[in-house]
Amino acid sequence: MTTMPLILVAVMVVLYACGVYLMLDRTLTRVLLGFLLVGNATNLLIFLMSGGFGAAPISGETSAEQMSDPLPQAFILTAIVITFGVSAFLLALIYRSWRLAHDRDDTVRDDEADVELATTEALTTVEVTDEDIEETPETSSDDSDDPDDSDDRDDPDDSDSSERAENTRGSAAPDAEETTR
């Protein structure tokens, strides 16, 4: 079993620390540089975790114990491709924001609505009184036992509701005589 070189571990830690520091900045160019440093640190981490060097993993030339593991190499190649793709996307965002900005600054600015929400209190301090509760209209529920709260349309014996239904039918459809003229 081989041990990891301590200098490469230190380089990896420094790359992660600098990358995270740059990604926390509000300038998009520094975010891109931080992302690239974190991607390279991740590649170095996978490389260090892959173990010692061995023979090429080609069947038939050496025994399986002497071969190097091809999976970490595939992970590193995949991480390189993903880092390249995200970097290209970030470069496109930086270019677009640079073109839109009049002062050629790529710093992300706070939205006025976000600043207003951040400065307001989370809960309101207005006290609700009993009078306020009584003044607010309540919605009627179908489960109520009070006959005064029931809906008029549900009562077939109610003459007002039948008259309203006839009036709406008469106004909605024109007479047949008027349409033939």
CB atoms within 10 A of CB 92: 10
pLDDT of residue 19: 96
**What distance in Å separates the CA atoms of residue 42 and residue 51, rounded to the nearest whole number?**
15
pLDDT of residue 71: 86
**What distance in Å separates the CA atoms of residue 36 and residue 44, rounded to the nearest whole number?**
12
Range picked from 6-20, 46-60, 66-80, 157-171 for highest mean pLDDT:
6-20
At 107-120, the pLDDT tens digits run 677 788 877 877 77
Range picked from 3-7, 31-35, 166-170, 177-181 for highest mean pLDDT:
31-35
Q: 14 with 34: CB under 8 angstroms?
A: no
DSSP string for 58-114: -TTTS-GGGBPPHHHHHHHHHHHHHHHHHHHHHHHHHHHHHHH-SS---BPPPPHHH
Whether 140 has a pLDDT exceeding 80, the answer reads no
Question: Which pLDDT band, with edges at 50, 70 and 90, does 106 fall under?
Answer: low
Task: Please tell me what DSSP assigns to residue 61.
Answer: T
Whether 149 has a pLDDT exceeding 80, the answer reads no
Average of per-residue pLDDT values in the chain: 76
Q: DSSP 3-state assignment of 175?
A: coil
Whether 147 has a pLDDT exceeding 90, the answer reads no
What's the whole-number mean pLDDT along residues 130-139? 77
Residue 67 β-bridge partners: 55
Confidence (pTM): 0.53
Whether 2 has a pLDDT exceeding 70, the answer reads no
Q: 12 with 45: CB under 8 angstroms?
A: yes
pLDDT of residue 98: 80
